[in-house]
Amino acid sequence: MHAALSNIGALDAAHHLHPFSDMKKLNAAGTRIIERGEGCYIYDNHGKKYLDGFAGLWCVNIGYGRKEIADAAYKQMNELTYYNTFFGTTTPPTVLLAQKITSHAGPNINRVFFTGSGSEANDTWFRMARVYWAAMGKPTKKTVIARVNGYHGSTVAGASLGGMKWMHEQGDLPIAGIVHIGQPYWYGEGGDLSPADFGLKMARELEAKIDELGEDNVAAFVAEPIQGAGGVIVPPETYWPEIARICKARNILLVTDEVICGFGRTGHWFGHQHFGVEPDLAPIAKGLSSGYLPIGGVMVSDRVADVLVNEVGDFNHGFTYSGHPVCAAAALENLRIIEEEKLVERVHDDVGPYLAAGLKSLEDHPMVGQTQSAGLMAAVQLAENKSTRKRFEDRERAGVEVRNHCLANGLVLRATGDRMLFSPPLVITRGEIDQMIEITRKGLDHAW
């Protein structure tokens, strides 16, 4: 080990402020230092091996340690490390990446605006939507409707679009012009309604909110096709078609946040395809490069792009690293691998249904109220009484106990309150899925 690494934990405590972390607690408990990754496994600095059931942070779709990506980035770095995409220039991998991304979107999406992250992508479409409506002669169409418990990033607009109360409490958010409606979380909030009726009810909250604000004041509705950080809440089948109908009927832009759902996670290239709807704008990131290098973007439909290109002129927005050529080259190679190894089809036809069946087998456990999945994005709902859907009084404790037991047994999962979340690399094998299910069951036994 490198000399400086022998006291890496102490250095971390002294110098590094972690995102989304209680630093006092973390410093007392000690940070896990992850040194290496290969396939679906990561290794800490004590040599302990973990099956990563979470693909880093929902992003390492092709798995760890793919040399092809390192080679593509190295080659691009030697050719052209950086050049900007402002003021009349661009670089070949940036253009090729935009073309490649749109080749997997529907026929109405043909352009991409690049950013460095998913948060920046959300800030980007937020401004773009307002600029679009102003150019359409409707400058009052400014307000964006988002959802409680949604997640759209950590920048000021991203966190405001998100519906996480505990984020809003820090920094006086949300900013003006962003309002929230409820989430289609049937298990927790559906009461006596059937999932189908509850899905319609929650979609119609959008219509009611548009009525309240006035159609001429609403720019867009944004939601993740499946809420990720909010707990992998797969909406009832009635939800998305009704949302799409309302957006169309009331002339507001539909924005699907594809940062997690994109690039094969649900067994489709994009989450909106899973539900058969067509967005006007769609932020992307994470699986775009499988997390090998930071890159994000907004997929822009012809409806919006044509106005931006032909009417707006300058869109005064962009980032130094928009379309960074090395990140773009890595992303392009990542998409080549996803295509060549047919990972989207693999999730749809093979490992996605296999995970769903494995999770179903956990439903006999007294602590499991429901399991839900779409491709390789899944959740186990914990419950105190499964027949009445009664949830635990201390929801955090329930999830944390299962998660910690899994971690001690070499499986990384995430707990969001009383939901255990799964999002493994798309290259995961059936054998590794069996392992995930087995360790999860032991975690459930331990916590029950």
**Does the footprint of ligand PLP cover residue 257 (CB under 6 A)?**
yes
270 binds ligand PLP (CB under 6 A): no
- Which is closer to ligand PLP, CB of 298 or CB of 368? 298
Helix axes 67-79, 325-340, angle to 10 degrees: 150
Identity of the residue, 117 or 371, whose beta carbon is nearer to ligand PLP in the bound complex: 117
Sequence-ordered list of residues with C-beta below 8 angstroms from that of 188, at least 6 positions apart, any chain: 391
Cβ distance to ligand PLP smaller for residue 8 or 148: 148
Q: Enumerate the H helices of 297-351 as residue ranges.
A: 302-307, 325-340, 343-346
Are 163 and 149 contacting, i.e. CB atoms less than 8 angstroms apart? Answer: yes
**Pseudo-torsion of CA 420, 33, 60, 112, nearest 10°?**
110
| Least distance from ligand PLP to the Cβ atom of residue 446, Å | 28
Minimum CB distance to ligand PLP, residue 292 (Å): 13
Q: Does residue 325 have a cis bond before it (omega within 30 degrees)?
A: no
Sign of the CA dihedral with 61 first, then 65, 69, and 73 last: positive
Between residue 288 and residue 327, which ones bind ligand PLP under the rule CB under 6 A?
296
Q: What character string, x for contact with ligand PLP (CB under 6 A) and - otherwise, covers 96-135?
A: ---------------------xxx--x-------------
Minimum CB–partner distance for residue 10 and ligand PLP (Å): 28
Written as one string, the DSSP assignment of 355-389 is HHHHHHGGGGSTTEEEEEEETTEEEEEE-SBTTTT
Q: Which is nearer to ligand PLP, 307 or 378 (CB)?
A: 378
Instruction: Show the CA angle centred on residue 355, arms to residues 255 and 437, nearest 5°.
Output: 125
For the segment 173-232, give every residue that binds ligand PLP (CB under 6 A): 224, 228-229
| Selected binder of ligand PLP within 42, 210, 218, 259 (CB under 6 A) | 259
Cβ within 8 Å of residue 276, ≥6 positions away: 240, 241
Contacts to ligand PLP from residues 136-175, by CB under 6 A: 151-153
Candidates 68-76, 208-216, 255-263, 313-321 — which segment interacts with ligand PLP by CB under 6 A? 255-263
Structure token digits, residue 437: 């299910």
Nearer to ligand PLP, 259 or 332 (CB): 259
Q: Give yes or no for residue 285 binding ligand PLP (CB under 6 A).
A: yes
Backbone dihedral region for residue 346 (phi beyond 0: left; psi -120 to 50: alpha; all else: beta) = alpha
Q: Which parts of this chain interact with ligand PLP (CB under 6 A)?
A: 117-119, 122, 151-153, 224, 228-229, 257, 259-260, 285, 296
